[in-house]
Structure 1
Amino acid sequence: MATNKNTAKTAVKNTDKKSKKSDAEKFTELANIRVPKALRVLKSISSLANDTKYEYTDAQSTAIISALKSAVDDLSECFKNGGKQDEETFRI
């Protein structure tokens, strides 16, 4: 019976080694999940622009657009800097 336990442990270890993914594979897998999710959320936010269903001010729509553009700019900077976010820069 000890052999069966050892065989089972070895099989689990071998399975773990085979299931390890490269960083590129993990990136692709997660990007293929996260980007479509983000796009669905953006489409959902864009439905708020329907002025027959919702009432909003120019200031509110500008705030939403500004926040989203800022988030995209931050995302772009992360890719340029290898995932490292720069410290906030003061601008007048």
Structure 2
Amino acid sequence: MTTHKNTAKTTAKTVDKKNAKGDKTMANKNTDKKSKKSDSEKFAELANIRVPKALRVLKSISSLANDDKYEYTDAQSTAIISALKSAVDDLSECFKNGGKKDEETFRI
């Protein structure tokens, strides 16, 4: 019988903890609504995270040029540089067009 009493007490404590967590979740949702950031603040925050990340990745790619550690062909290095330049051109175009990508046009 002792087991039943302990189980009942444990279950009651678990339910109380769940309710307390539920209350905290609701409080966090209300707080989030009050501290909403402007679009400009969100842009600056994300840019301050993403640009340094991109620069670190570019630096790691540039370390591939170390011919003491790696062997590569001119075609391989040209392909890497071309892909990166194309990505930067696409990025630039996105900023010029307000984030809208131009549709590809066919020309002869």
* TM-score w.r.t. length of structure 1: 0.80
Gaps of 5+ in 2: 14-29
Q: Distance in 2 between matches of 1:49 and 1:5?
A: 70
Greater shift, 1-10 or 48-57, is seen at: 1-10
Q: By how many angstroms is 1:7 displaced? A: 32
Moved over 3 A (4+): 1-14, 89-92
Rg larger in 1 or in 2? 2
The superposition leaves residues 17-74 of structure 1 with CA deviations (integer Å, 9 ceiling, x where unpaired) of: 3221110000000000000000000000000000000000000000000000000000
RMSD of the alignment, in Å? 7.9
Corresponding residue for residue 12 of structure 1: 12
Q: Which has the higher contact order (CA 8 A, sep 6+)?
A: 1
Change (3 A) 1:89 1:21: same
Greater shift, 23-32 or 82-91, is seen at: 82-91
Q: By how many angstroms is 1:15 displaced? A: 1.3
Q: Distance in 1 between matches of 2:46 and 2:56?
A: 16
